[in-house]
Structure formats: structure tokens, C-alpha cells
Amino acid sequence: DGGITQSPKYLFRKEGQNVTLSCEQNLNHDAMYWYRQDPGQGLRLIYYSQIVNDFQKGDIAEGYSVSREKKESFPLTVTSAQKNPTAFYLCASSVQGFFEQYFGPGTRLTVT
Amino acid sequence: GQQVMQIPQYQHVQEGEDFTTYCNSSTTLSNIQWYKQRPGGHPVFLIQLVKSGEVKKQKRLTFQFGEAKKNSSLHITATQTTDVGTYFCAGLNSGNTPLVFGKGTRLSVIA
């Protein structure tokens, strides 16, 4: 059963802590993406990777970091430097860069 | 940088009425994609338009790409409660630049 998994679905953290969100895909897609969604803001691109061991900053990369050591995995770390980390985080993948994207179920992060 | 504007932000319709959302880009696009996100869910790809003036239909949904490849629309005929959700357009420039999503149109359907 192919798809994208994100875990956990809900995540709660205290301010000042780093937190890593998981994203795994078994679609054999080359490209993977991280988006942040806030109410009324649509989808904003945080980071994207078009190939293993390479990634680029999106529009709102400050306070976030990623790695792409394996084709199937693209974890996102929300660091303590991110000023407003509470949001809905969506991971996506596509066969190649910017073809139709398949989204995971998302992780809702709350930082207090 | 490239911007994709989408209107309206919200639309409330009676079941059976038609609905249209519009997408406008500040630059010429190589293609445009449409996604639907149900409440509490994640975006799901609907369609991609590539050619100038292209029109595609999926049952009650009609997608258009403008002649200048700078605007697009999604029209739903005779809305149903299953159409509820947020519809996003996403534009792709030529070259290796990321998709840019509009802010979406949230559709509510009153039975």
C-alpha cells in the first residue's frame, strides 16, 4: 500500500525545545517537500529536496532544518529559533520536481 | 517573486448552486495545478493544466487555463455537500522554481 506517512498526527512541545517531524514515502518519488499551513494562509514552502543528499530553502526556511539521507525519508526539525512554530505541517512528494504532489496526512504541532 | 492570487477567499452556496474560484498569477506559468483539501484533511491533487486555453472536465468540475497562461478557474456545477472543502491552485513557472500555491477558496455548501 503506497503512500506518505507522517508521524505523529498531533505533537505538543514546550517553547525552547527542538522537535523533529517524520515524513516517509514508499512511492519511489525523487522529490519531497515540507509545507506549513496556517489558517487563511494557504500552503507555504519550508524546504524541498529534488534528490537524495540535496535540498533547498523555500519561502519560510528560517528556524527549520531538514536532511535527505535516504530517498524515502525527509525529516523536518523545528528549532527553538522558529518564532511561531504552532502550525499544521504537511509533507509531500512528487515523481520529480514540481510534478503533481502527493501529500501526507500532516502533523499538527502545538508549542506552548 | 511570483505571486498567485486566488479569489474569493470564502464562498457559501446553497446545494445545487454553481461555484467558481479564480486564480491569477503575476507571471506567465508553464502549468497550473488544482488541489482540494477537505476539512481536517490534506490537499489532494485534482488536475494539471499545461496548454494555453486548455479546458478539462471531471464530472461536475470544469478547469480552465487562460490564453495568456496567467489565470485559471475552477467551476463546479450544481454543488453537493461532498464538494465542501478548500480549493487551491498552484502555479509553476518555467525553470526549476517551486510551485506557488494560492491561499485557497473555502467552499461551504448549505443543504
pLDDT digits (tens, 9 = 90+) for B20-75: 999 999 999 999 999 999 999 999 999 999 999 999 999 999 999 999 999 999 99
| CB neighbourhood size of A33 (10 A) | 27
- List the single residue in B with minimal CA-CA distance to A105: B42
Note which residues in 32-51 of chain B have CB less than 8 A from chain A. 33, 35, 41-45, 48
Residues of A in contact with B41 (CB under 8 A): 105
- pLDDT class of B3 with cuts at 50, 70, 90: confident
Pairing of strands B31-37, B10-14: unpaired
- Residue A46 CA to residue A34 CA, distance in Å, equals 5
The answer on pLDDT for A101 being more than 80 is yes
Q: Does any CB of chain A come closer than 8 Å to the CB of residue B14?
A: no
Encode pLDDT of A28-80 as tens digits: 999 999 999 998 778 999 999 999 999 999 999 999 999 999 999 999 999 99
Q: A40–B92: do the CB atoms touch at under 8 Å?
A: no
* Mean of the per-residue pLDDT values of chain A: 94
Residue A98 zone, left/alpha/beta (φ > 0; ψ -120 to 50; rest): left
The answer on pLDDT for A1 being more than 70 is no
